[in-house]
Amino acid sequence: CSYPVWEDFSAKATKLHSQLRTTVLAAVAFLDAFQKVADMATNTRGATRDIGSALTRMCMRHRSIEAKLRQFTNALMESLVTPLQDKIEDWKKTANQLDKDHAKEYKRSRHEIKKKSSDTMKLQKKARKGRGDLQPQLDSAMQDVTDMCLLMEEMEKQAVRRALVEERGRFCTFIGFLQPVVNGEIAMLGEITHLQAIIDDLTVLTTDPHKLPPASEQ
Amino acid sequence: CSYPVWEDFSAKATKLHSQLRTTVLAAVAFLDAFQKVADMATNTRGATRDIGSALTRMCMRHRSIEAKLRQFTNALMESLVTPLQDKIEDWKKTANQLDKDHAKEYKRSRHEIKKKSSDTMKLQKKARKGRGDLQPQLDSAMQDVTDMCLLMEEMEKQAVRRALVEERGRFCTFIGFLQPVVNGEIAMLGEITHLQAIIDDLTVLTTDPHKLPPASEQ
């Protein structure tokens, strides 16, 4: 049965979501402290104003990353976990109905074939006793049994197909729910690329710690 | 005073680090559950094998992201917080010593200038009373006072410069500690870029949920 797998996934995603939420809060507090370091660099007598401005850019970029992380965290719950939980309930109901319908159809078909077969066998007995020309009637009855068996085989094939489509449909639904979450992750990437330029600037600014910028001693 | 700012930064980074650690654990459990969903798709009667293999790739890529997140989390503590905390102690000691040295130097210089000035005034008094030709001696004494004042001014400038270099050096040290952390973030980016290709594959595979792959019904 597949439900425990889906339910375990939903539980672990919920746990991750709540962890990410507290991480976002810690990130906000961290970035506030980071901005204070940047402000300190900007405000002190001019010798670190250049560094302060690069640190401020670094901090602002991280606030954008934090906003994207927040969106990703929300998408995890709102686009994936909550709709998935609803779907799991639907799936259970649908699968139950499919099973029930199929069992009923199968039982009815088997019953009809059995009945037709026993009718045919009675006809065969009569025919062997040579009463009248029953051959055409017998041929037709045997053809009926064969047709009913082929029909049942086809019905079984259809039932398997329905189950496969239902199963595949579940994964398609799941992937539809997953998409906004992965897109949220990818959106963070766009923010992270800017970090390289800022850290490069900071590296250049701090290559010689003993060299003060020209304006700072005036 | 700058220490509360540095100490607050260090405290908030420590908090963020501990949050990230528990998030990594939640991510590991989430990815295990995700892999079980992928395995389920791979193993069910063939109709979702293609989806299962794409989901497995998605899961593996996220395991790489998780590994990079773990490295970033470690870098936050080992490359930034711990060395910074040690440095804050050093900075306090160095700043104390600089202040003490400067106070001593300043006091001595002021004392010498005061003494020389009062000597010069006595000499001026004597000169006014006209005893002997004291002019050359007086000129030389006044030149000495002027020189000493210029010297003291230069010394003060040097002290300001030393303080500025010390201050700038702190930010340079800080940025050196920050670099491995930001590099860790940028490394996560490299992993995230691969997600786009996988989510695109999944979108194509799931455009028509009612179409079963050719091999699945055999």
If you average pLDDT over each of A60-64, A125-129, B42-46, B213-217, which comes out highest? A60-64
Q: Could you give the 3-state DSSP secondary structure of residue B208? A: coil
- Mean pLDDT, rounded, of chain A: 90
Contact indicator for B69, B20 with CB cutoff of 8 Å: yes
The answer, yes or no, to whether residue A132 has pLDDT greater than 80, is: no
If you average pLDDT over each of A127-131, A201-205, B35-39, which comes out highest? B35-39
CB-CB neighbors (< 8 A) of A157 in chain B: 217
Tell whether A183 lies on the interface with B, counting CB pairs under 8 A: yes
Tell whether A22 lies on the interface with B, counting CB pairs under 8 A: yes
Model pLDDT, residue A89? 93
| DSSP E strands, chain B | none
Q: What is the pLDDT along chain B (218 residues), one digit of tens a residue?
A: 788 999 999 999 999 999 999 999 999 999 999 999 999 999 877 788 889 999 999 999 999 999 999 999 999 999 999 999 999 999 999 888 988 998 999 999 999 999 999 989 888 888 888 767 888 888 888 899 999 999 999 988 888 888 888 888 899 999 999 999 999 999 987 888 888 888 888 888 888 887 877 766 65
By C-alpha distance, the chain A residue nearest B35 is A9
Per-residue pLDDT tens digits for A71-102: 999 999 999 999 999 999 999 998 889 889 98
CATH superfamily of A3-217: Arfaptin homology (AH) domain/BAR domain (1.20.1270.60)
Question: Which has more pLDDT, A34 or B46?
Answer: A34
ipTM of the complex: 0.87
By C-alpha distance, the chain A residue nearest B15 is A26
In the structure, what pLDDT confidence band is assigned to residue A131 with cuts at 50, 70 and 90?
Answer: low
Cα–Cα dist A90/A209, whole Å: 64
Which of A59, A206, A212 is best to mutate for the B interface (most B CBs within 10 A)?
A206
Q: In Å, how far from its chain's centre is CA A170?
A: 9
Which of A33-42, A108-117, B58-67, B202-211 shows the lowest per-residue confidence on average (mean pLDDT)?
B202-211
Q: Could you give the 3-state DSSP secondary structure of residue B12? A: helix
- CB-CB under 8 Å, A212 with B165: yes
- CB-CB under 8 Å, B33 with A9: yes
Tell whether B151 lies on the interface with A, counting CB pairs under 8 A: no
- For residue B127, the distance in angstroms to the closest alpha carbon of chain A comes to 41
Range 61-120 of B in CB contact (< 8 A) with A: none
Q: Could you give the 3-state DSSP secondary structure of residue A46? A: coil
The answer, yes or no, to whether residue A35 has pLDDT greater than 80, is: yes
| Percent of residues, chain A, with pLDDT higher than 70 | 97
CB-CB neighbors (< 8 A) of A84 in chain B: none
Model pLDDT, residue B164? 86
> What is the crossing angle of helices A3-43 and A49-75, to 10°?
160
Q: Where are the domains of chain B?
A: 3-217
Cα–Cα dist B76/A185, whole Å: 21
Model pLDDT, residue A174? 94
CB-CB neighbors (< 8 A) of B169 in chain A: 209-210
Q: Among partner residues A11, A168, A216, which is closest to B164 by beta-carbon distance?
A: A216
Q: In Å, how far from its chain's centre is CA B120?
A: 54
Size of chain B, expressed as the number of residues it contains: 218
- CB-CB under 8 Å, A2 with B12: no
- CB-CB under 8 Å, A185 with B195: yes
Tell whether B51 lies on the interface with A, counting CB pairs under 8 A: yes
CB-CB neighbors (< 8 A) of B27 in chain A: 16, 19
If you average pLDDT over each of A56-60, A160-164, B141-145, which comes out highest? A56-60
Model pLDDT, residue A126? 84
Model pLDDT, residue A21? 97
Tell whether A11 lies on the interface with B, counting CB pairs under 8 A: yes
Model pLDDT, residue B53? 92
By C-alpha distance, the chain B residue nearest A199 is B179
The answer, yes or no, to whether residue A218 has pLDDT greater than 60, is: no
Contact indicator for B140, B148 with CB cutoff of 8 Å: no
Model pLDDT, residue A165? 87
Contact indicator for A52, B38 with CB cutoff of 8 Å: no
